[in-house]
Amino acid sequence: MQQRTLGERSVGAIGLGAMPLSVEGRPDAGAALATLHAAIDAGVTLLDTADSYHWHADETGHNERLIARALAARSPADRANVLVATKGGRGRPGDGSWTVDGRPEHLRRAAEDSLRRLGVAAIDLYQLHKPDPLVPWAESVGALRGLLDAGKVRAAGISNVDEQQILTAREILGPGLVSVQNRFSPADRGSLPQLRLAERLGLAFLPWSPLGGLARSVLDDPADGVPARTAFHRVAEARGVSPQQVGLAWLLALSPAVVPIPGARRPASIHDSAAAAGLVLDAGELAALQGPFTGPTGPVYPAYPAADAADAAPAAPAAPVYLAAPASPAASASRR
C-alpha cells in the first residue's frame, strides 16, 4: 500500500476507524478480530480508536482492548509497524448519548487508563477527542503537552476543531502536534479550510466518516437517506469498482496530508477500502467529482473549484496567531 506521513512515522494511505467494532450494532468478538486482522493483512497500519468507543456504560475502552487483543496475536514486526491512535475527552453513559470532558485532570487519567488497556509504554498518537465548551481550549491542549513531556505519548492530535483551535494547539504543542481529525467526506466538505491549514503546517489530516453520502455509518441518523446515484457512482461503474473506493481515492487525491480512516465491521469491507490506495483517478474523473454532491432531496454540498481553497487561503504564519474562524460543522457535531 502507498504510504503517507504521520508525524515521524509512515502509515498506509488508508487507515481503519475501529469504532464500528465496539458500538451499537457491533459484530461479535470473533468477527471484530477477523476484521482487524484483515486490515493489517491488507497493509493498513493506522488503527484509530478511543476510550469512548463502546456500547454499554460499564465497558469504557472496549475498542482499545479489542485492538490490543488483535495485536497480541501478531508478529513482533507487525506490532511494530502498526500505529495505534487513540483519543480521550469523550464519554458514553450507555444511553446512546455522548459527553465531553476536556478537563486536564480527566485527560491525564484517561491517557493512563488507555496506556494500561493497550499494554504499551507510550501511546503512539493521543488525540483530544473534542473541544469542551466548559474548559478553555488552551488548558485541554496543555494536558497533551504534559503527556508529551512525561513520555506517556509519542505524538499528539486534535479532533473536531476549527482553524483557530488548530493554530492554538500548534503554538502549545509545537512539533508534538502531528494530526487533525475532522469529519470530511464527499457529502460533508465543511472542513476543507482545516484540511488546507493542516497541509500547510505539515500535519496529517484524518477524515472520519469519510464515506459520508456513499455508505451509511453508525453515526448517521436512521432518517438520513443515502443517494442512489452520484458522480462517485458513475465513476465507480466505469472503473468496475465500488463507489466507496472512488470516494476514498478522491480524498487521497485532495492532498498528500490526507489519511482516511473508514470504518468496517467485516473483512470484506476493509479489503475494499484498502484497495482505494491503488486507485488513481484521472483529471476528468476528479473534475466530475468536484461538483455539487446531490443527496436524496437535492444538493447537500456545493461545488468548489478544482484548485479549491488552497490557492485562495493565506499561508499560515510562521509565528501562529489566533484567526477569527467560525466553528466548522465537524467542530459542533454532537456525535463522534
Residues labelled catalytic: 53
Residue type, 144: L
C-alpha–C-alpha distance, residues 206 and 182, integer Å: 7
Reduced to 3 states (helix: H, G, I; strand: E, B; else coil), residue 84 is strand
Q: What type of residue sits at position 149?
A: D
Give the DSSP per-residue string, 247-281: HHHHHHHH-TTB----B-SSHHHHHHHHHGGG---
Residue 86 falls in which region: left (phi positive, over 0), alpha (psi -120 to 50) or beta: beta
**Whole-angstrom Cα Rg for the chain:** 19
Distance between CA 260 and CA 212 in Å, rounded?
12
104 SS3 class? helix
3-state secondary structure 210-246: CCCCCCCCCCCCCCCCCCCCCHHHHHHHHHCCCHHHH
Are 206 and 48 a contacting pair, CB within 8 Å?
yes
Give the residue carrying C-alpha cell 453520502: 213
Rounded distance between C-alpha atoms, residue 334 and residue 131, angstroms: 11
Residue 220, C-alpha cell as written in the block: 448517521
CA distance 309 to 254: 11
Please say whether the beta carbons of 110 and 51 come within 8 A.
yes
* Alpha-carbon dihedral angle through residues 236, 193, 184, 81, given to the nearest 10 degrees: 90
